[in-house]
Structures are given as C-alpha cells and as structure tokens.
Structure 1
Amino acid sequence: MRVIVTRPPAQAADWVAQLQALGVDAVAVPLIGIAPLDDPSPLQAAWAALPGTALVMFVSANAVAHFFAARPPGATWPAGTRAGSTGPGTSAALRQAGLTPQQIVAPADDAPVFDSEALWALLAHDDWAGRRALVVRGEDGRDWFAETLRARGAEVGFVAAYRRLPPELDGSGRQRVAEARAAPQVHLWLFSSSEAVGHLRRIAPGADWSAARAVASHPRIAQAARDAGFGAVDLLPPSPAALAAWLGNVPSQPLQPLQGAPIQSAPQ
C-alpha cells in the first residue's frame, strides 16, 4: 500500500523520508501551502514582549519555525516563559530552536490525542489570574485555548507567524492524485488537518473515495475525511513509526475491520 502524505511541503518531505527509511512506500502530495508573512514586524514586537509572558502556545511546527525565523538580533527566550506544544512535531521544532525539554509543556509522545485540550489538561491546575499568554498560529485558527485561558483570568494575545495557502500541485502531485482515484484500494491517505481534506475535495471534485482508506491524527480530521466520502478512516498518533507499525496490521481487504491493529478506530 502506498502512503500519500498530505502535510505542508517541508513536513511532508520529512515524513516521506522517515517512512521510506522504515520500509514504507510513501510519497508527498502536499495539500496545504505555507508562506511567511509580508510584514514581520508583529512577530518582532511579540519577541520584544516575551519577558513577563508566562506561556507561548505554538499551534504547529510551522508556527515555531516562522516565529523563531523572525527573532530580532540579540533576542533570547526568557528563562521564566514556558512554550506550549500540542504534539511531538511541534515539540521537536521547539527543541531544534534551542529550547530545553524543561521549558516545553506538551502531551506525552504516547498520548492518545494531541490537541489544545490535551495541552490544557497539563496547565489547568495553574493559577492564571493576571498572567500573560500568547498564541502563535497562522492567520486564523481555533480560539478554544485562548478563550479557556481568558476564562481563568489570563490576558491572552495572538500573533500570526505564517500564511496557509491552497496547494499548488506539480505534475507529479496531480499524477499521484489521479493514480489514487484510479486504484484507491492500494493507496492510504494520511491527513493531519481538516483543511487538507477540504483542498483535496476541491482538487478532485466528484471523486469517489468510498473504496479508499485514510488515517487521521485527530477525531475532527477523521470526521472531515468521512464527510469527504472515504470508506474507512482510522485514528493514529502522528508518528512515522506508529504508522509503519500500523501498516503491518492492515489486512488484505483494506475496508474490512482491522483485527489487533495498534490504533483507535474512528467513531462512526
């Protein structure tokens, strides 16, 4: 079975390399584009305001990369500021940016779900009254985490670190989508965002995915894939190793219920 990785280009290339190293046939079809902002001054202002900020929550590895790319010369991460991460990829990006594990708060790598709610569970016991927090994200996104902090008395701001764009598939990308439509039973779609599912629906309008299987990293994403018509959608932690192990348990008939696979099946 060929795995189609739909993450943004940089992350898709990294996932494909890791999967291929694990013996998995994987290709990249990035269904989300990422671009820097035209004006970096809001990010530079956010860096200047970091001292005294209790928490900076990063929604993705892209948020980390673009936030640190805009760091003004001489700026350092304050010792008393924690970095919030919702998953292993974002945590890895924070470590690559120079933060220590002690400065990062994130769900464990084997947590069943990686999202804002899982991160909040680690922070809910703290006293947030009068404390400052910052959410680093794309130009828009969910407000649940910020609203929850505000309800506990925190002062919360947002800063956009990058822009999400519709995908621009090259010839090989379009060919891979066509091959997956023609032979859905031997392709596995890997989705890490609902937005990617939406872009696929626009790229391949009217496609019949009822004989296709998808893997999603969150129940909301799994629901988007089911809404797009995928015949089987399963939940799996966002890890190349977990996906490689899961593939070893996929039966010969892709749409039959899995037996003994180390996954949590998406609710129907």
Structure 2
Amino acid sequence: MPTTSALPTLIVTRPQPQADEWVDRLAALGCPAVALPLLVIEPQPAFAPAVRQAWATLATRRLVMFVSPNAVLQFFAQAPVGSRWPATTQAAATGPGTVAALRAQGLDAAQVLSPRPDSAQFDAETLWQQQLAAIDWPGRQALIVRGEDGRDWLASTLRAAGARVDLLAAYRRIAPAWDDAQLALLARIEADPARHAWQFSSSEAVRHLAAWIARQARPQPGLLATTALATHPRIAETARAAGWSQVIEVTPDAAQMLARLRQMPFPD
C-alpha cells in the first residue's frame, strides 16, 4: 500500500468555489490534490427577476429543491434585501455539499431534506425514496433551482405524484477557458498519468474534458489513461463512454476517495 507521500495527486474538477474547498478538505486528510474545474458557473443578469420573484413566493412552496451548492449560492446571492426563508418551506438537496451550503445560509437541519449519510447513492432517486415519496403531494407546490438546463427526473416524478412544479434557472454552466498554469497541469497529467487521478462529479464536466481532448492537434492518451473516481454510476458510465478505461465509483466523501487512492497501484 502506498504511503501518503506517494499517493497520486487527485485532480478536483468541481466548479469554484467548491473545487478549492475540496482541495482543502483532501489536504487536511493528507491527500495531495489540486483544482482544475471542468465547469464554470456564470451568473446571468437576465435570470435575476425570476429569482427575486421566486423569493416572493417561497412561503407558498412545500419544497424548494437545490441541485448543487452553486444553485444555493446563486439563489441566496440574489435574494431581495430583508428576505428570510419561511419556516413552512423545506429545502431539499441530493448531496452533502449542497446540504452544507444550505446550512451555511442559516437553514437548520429540520428544514433540509436529503439522502441519509449512509446512502449508497446521493441522487434524486434516493432523495425521493427516502424523503419525498411519503409526502402528500396533490395540490402542493415545489420549485427546483438549477442551471439553464438539467435532468428532469425529479420534476416529472413530483408532477406524477400531483405536485405543481416550477423550474428556475439561477445560473449558467459553461466549459472552462484554462490559463497557462492550468494548461501546464494538463501537460503534467498527460506526461505522467499514473501519478494523477481525476475526481469526476458531473457528467457534463467529463464531456467538457473529452471535447477539449478531441480538439487537440496531438493525441492526449495520458489524460484518458489516468484513473477516474466518479461520484455516481451515471458519471462513471459517461467517463467510460468518453474513453476512460480505469473508472472507480465512489461516494462524494473525501475520506472514501483517499481510501480508494491508497488501494491503487502506484509507481515508486
């Protein structure tokens, strides 16, 4: 088993500021990590009126579902002055990072519905099964806060249960434009894939990297040879389809990621 100093460097691909937060969390556990976001969160001024209107109607909602920490940040950043989260409205999240973002905004634990910490998966299906399916939905209102687009499974499921569901775009996700330092990091990964590993937390992020690789004048086999840790089976499937052969499924937990890295063969 490799020592901590011999561990591969984990490339954290989440959007900022979550990427730097994950790097710090991993470093505190003794795991070498570096941020290379594969998604950029871009606020859109055109979305602001709809977000402000959503704040005005929060008290009429049984539930507000946030798809990511950035959905929380963008929604609360555009709150009208003096707005407060209503006591009768519950928030929902699929992952611990989004739960933490909601708690940081002042919501208490009883106001936030999410999969149990010991869940095998952190996704909309698990949230539905564990927290939402038992609610009497006919006539109740729900709001899903997300980017410009996204997966509609939960909205469709809520509607089938009788809820009235609105989708709110609070930001836009775009591909990154890397600076010289980030391009140099990619070159180091390409040159020595065994000493690096990807952390993939989004299928869209995987596709952005795969598209960048496809645009390069020279082949980049090292980037695809690098082991990938995927935080959901759908993300793992996307990575394999894009050309990664070494894909390991993990939960979005820093300690588990470190444990999996320690199990990887690593050159001296």
Q: Give the TM-score of the pair, scaled to structure 2.
A: 0.91
Tell which has more relative contact order, 1 or 2 (C-alpha 8 A, sep 6+): 2
Counterpart in the other structure of 1:27: 34
Shift in Å, 1:250:
2.1
- Determine if contact 1:5/1:27 at 8 Å carries over to the other structure: yes
Distance in 2, Cα, partners of 1:210 & 1:98? 41
**Residue 64 (structure 1) aligned to one of 72, 89, 97:** 72
Amino acid at match of 2:79: R
The equivalent residue for 2:220 is 207
Residue pairs, 1:118-157, within 5 angstroms: 118-121=126-129, 122-157=131-166
Structure 1 Cα separation of the partners of residues 85 and 140 of structure 2: 17
Alignment length (residue pairs): 253
Letter in 2 for 1:56: V
**Aligned counterpart in structure 2 of residue 12 of structure 1, from 19, 41, 54:** 19
Counterpart of 1:27, as a letter, is V
Q: Counterpart amino acid of 2:22? A: W
The Cα offsets for residues 126-165 of structure 1, whole Å up to 9 and x where unpaired, read as 1100000000000100111011000111100011111111
- Paired letter, 2:95: G
Q: Are the counterparts in 1 of residues 195 and 266 from structure 2 also a CA contact under 8 Å? A: no
Confirm or deny: 8 A CA contact 1:30 1:169 kept in the other structure. Answer: no
Distance in 2 between the 1:173 and 1:252 partners?
24
Q: Is 2:121 aligned against 1:97?
A: no
Task: Tell me the amino acid that sits aligned with residue 46 of structure 1.
Answer: A
Query: What are the superposed Cα offsets for residues 103-128 of structure 1, whole Å, 9 maximum, x if unpaired?
Result: 00001222111111111112111110
Structure having the larger proportion of residues in helix: 2
- Corresponding residue for 1:229? 243
1:210 offset after TM fit, Å?
5.2
Alpha carbons 2:146, 2:171 under 8 Å: kept:
yes
**More deviation in 214-223 or 226-235?**
226-235
Partner of 1:238: 252
Which consecutive unaligned segments of at least 5 residues does structure 1 have? 254-268
Q: Unmatched 5+ residue regions in structure 2?
A: 1-7
TM-score, length-scaled by structure 1: 0.91
Determine the structure 1 residue equivalent to 2:192: 183
Q: Give me the identity figure in percent.
A: 50
**Amino acid corresponding to residue 12 of structure 2 in structure 1:** V
Offset from partner CA, 1:221-245 (integer Å, 9 cap, x none): 1011111211210111112222122
Give the Cα–Cα distance (whole angstroms) in 2 for the partners of residues 160 and 24 of structure 1: 35
